[in-house]
Amino acid sequence: MDIDKVFKALADPTRRRLLDLLHRQNGQTLSALCEHMDMTRQGVTQHLQLLEEANLVAVVWQGREKLHYLNPVPLHEIYERWIGKFERSRLGALRDLKKRLEGDDDDKA
């Protein structure tokens, strides 16, 4: 899988927003996703296509419904590549601290 595609797909705020929506609720249809997006159905379709090509979104057909799933496997590969085993617990502690101090919310862009 081409890692450039993953970073290109993530470089766009609309596509990150789509991933956030799937993170909150996995397995959504195009129509359900469009309800939260301020753009045409066609625009959302194109963004989803790029996410699918980057393997960040996986698609499952259920009858006539096309369901979109967040596929975190490429993100896990990026994480494995640059984050050492011994850094993980310290990074986790830092993240928890930041979250507590800032009242962070996962969906924040």
Partner 1 sequence: MTKPSFVYVTYIATTPEKVWQAFVDTDVMRQYWVGPNAECARVNVSDWKPGSRWEHQRVDPSRAVDIVGKVVESIPPRRLVYTWARPSDAEDESKHSRVAIDIEPQGDGLVRLTVTHEDLERDPQMLAGISGGWPKVLSNLKTLLETGRPLPRSPSAT
**Closest separation in Å from C-beta 105 to partner 1:** 18
CB 67 within 8 A of CB 27: yes
Q: Residues with Cβ < 8 Å from 40, sequence gap 6 or more?
A: none
**Closest separation in Å from C-beta 47 to partner 1:** 18
Applying CB under 8 A, the residues found at the interface with partner 1 are 1, 26-27, 55, 58, 60, 62, 67, 69, 71-77, 80, 85-86, 88-89
**Closest separation in Å from C-beta 20 to partner 1:** 16
CA atoms within 13 A on the CB side of 47: 21
Q: Quick one: 42 or 62, whose CB is closer to partner 1?
A: 62
Q: Quick one: 37 or 52, whose CB is closer to partner 1?
A: 52
* Beta strand residue intervals within the chain, DSSP E: 57-62, 65-70
Q: Quick one: 85 or 100, whose CB is closer to partner 1?
A: 85
CB 67 within 8 A of CB 87: no
Q: Quick one: 43 or 72, whose CB is closer to partner 1?
A: 72
Helix (H) or strand (E) holding 55: none
